[in-house]
């Protein structure tokens, strides 16, 4: 198999995502790699190992974020409530983007806000920048206003997407929340409003308790749960959103607990065109190389010429009844 690391890429791993060529289907998720430079300090890591890097959530004005503790390990997962700490949109555009090597990979801005107007202005500013695409974070569980309400309300979700669509010609990726009644209906509304793609899913809401002090471990009381614990939920949500997307040719970045090549392949088979890597990076910064090799090995075993041929190839069983209980 062709080496999938560094400057030598297995061309079978390349995917077309909204007209952007990704060298591999792997995307480093927002909030996990800072503004694209953090993991380049790790010996052996290269941004060339991934198709795209999603930058940290960015608001119009700088934010200090939430009080500590902001991160807590849980069984098979991690809670975080960073609170969108960031230096503000203009600093990212003027200072951080010029420092990134756009020849290595694609870079995606993550737009966050507490009002429709803020989402719109941040998107407008990123439109006039070298960024390759814009992810609209309508479902951030880490702030007390804005994202949570927008992401869980199809009407608000559509309003934000429509407003952002009006001020950018760049590919627009809408990040969907699992903390809502009908994620497929929300996806339909966002497609009608002009989104080009989806990121599915954002974190689930969770809590951890310190039994000695009888207080929440997280300073924000609650936070976003990520890691292997949420993978089955994320897989189902990708499958549900894919049923809506496939008729419109809308691609999905599937994410939620992906740690291995098998995990990545499951998401692709369920309907994802690309897959997001996040929590796994915290304990294995070089996991992307392992996943790339594993996907290549799978393509070898099954005689497939492209990873894209696997997207949405899931063959469903015929259930005996609608009852899912024991």
Torsion of CA 38, 279, 47, 35, to 10 degrees: -40
Residue found under tokens 């949570």: 148
Query: Token pair for residue 231?
Result: 């993978």
CB 135 within 8 A of CB 175: yes
CA distances from 176 to 5, 134, 240, 242, 274 (A): 31, 14, 12, 13, 15
Q: Is 140 a catalytic residue?
A: yes
Rounded distance, CA 190 to CA 143, Å? 22
CA distances from 204 to 15, 174, 224 (A): 28, 16, 5
Query: Token pair for residue 152?
Result: 């869980």
Rounded distance, CA 23 to CA 49, Å? 8
DSSP for residue 84? -
Q: Which of 18, 32, 54, 140 is catalytic?
A: 140
Residue found under tokens 């790699």: 33
Active-site annotation, residues: 140
């Amino acid at each position: 198999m062709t080496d999938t690391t560094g400057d030598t890429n297995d061309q079978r791993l390349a995917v077309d995502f909204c007209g952007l060529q990704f060298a591999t289907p792997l995307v480093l998720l927002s909030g996990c790699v800072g503004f694209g430079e953090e993991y380049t300090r790790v010996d052996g890591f290269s941004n060339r190992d991934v198709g795209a890097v999603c930058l940290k959530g960015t608001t119009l004005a700088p934010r200090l974020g939430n009080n500590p503790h902001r991160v807590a390990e849980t069984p098979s997962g991690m809670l975080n409530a960073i609170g969108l700490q960031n230096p503000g949109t203009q600093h990212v555009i003027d200072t951080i983007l010029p420092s990134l090597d756009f020849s290595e990979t694609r870079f995606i801005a993550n737009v966050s806000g507490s009002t429709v107007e803020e989402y719109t202005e941040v998107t407008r500013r990123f439109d006039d920048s070298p960024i390759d695409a814009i992810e609209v974070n309508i479902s951030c569980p880490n702030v007390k206003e804005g994202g949570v309400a927008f992401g869980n309300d199809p009407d608000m979700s559509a309003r934000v997407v429509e407003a952002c669509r009006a001020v950018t010609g760049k590919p627009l990726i809408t990040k969907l929340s699992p903390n809502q009644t009908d994620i497929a209906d929300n996806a339909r509304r966002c497609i009608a409003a002009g989104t080009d793609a989806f990121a599915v899913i954002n974190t689930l809401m969770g809590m951890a308790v310190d039994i000695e002090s009888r207080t929440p471990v997280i300073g924000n009381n609650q936070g976003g749960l990520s890691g292997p614990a949420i993978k089955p939920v994320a897989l189902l949500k990708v499958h549900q959103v894919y049923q809506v997307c496939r008729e419109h040719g809308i691609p999905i970045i599937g994410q939620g607990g992906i740690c291995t090549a098998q995990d990545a392949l499951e998401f692709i088979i369920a309907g994802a065109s690309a897959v997001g890597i996040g929590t796994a990076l915290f304990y294995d910064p070089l996991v992307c190389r392992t996943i790339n090799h594993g996907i290549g090995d799978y393509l070898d075993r099954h005689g497939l010429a492209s990873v894209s041929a696997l997207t949405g190839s899931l063959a469903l069983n015929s259930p005996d009844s609608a009852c899912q209980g024991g």
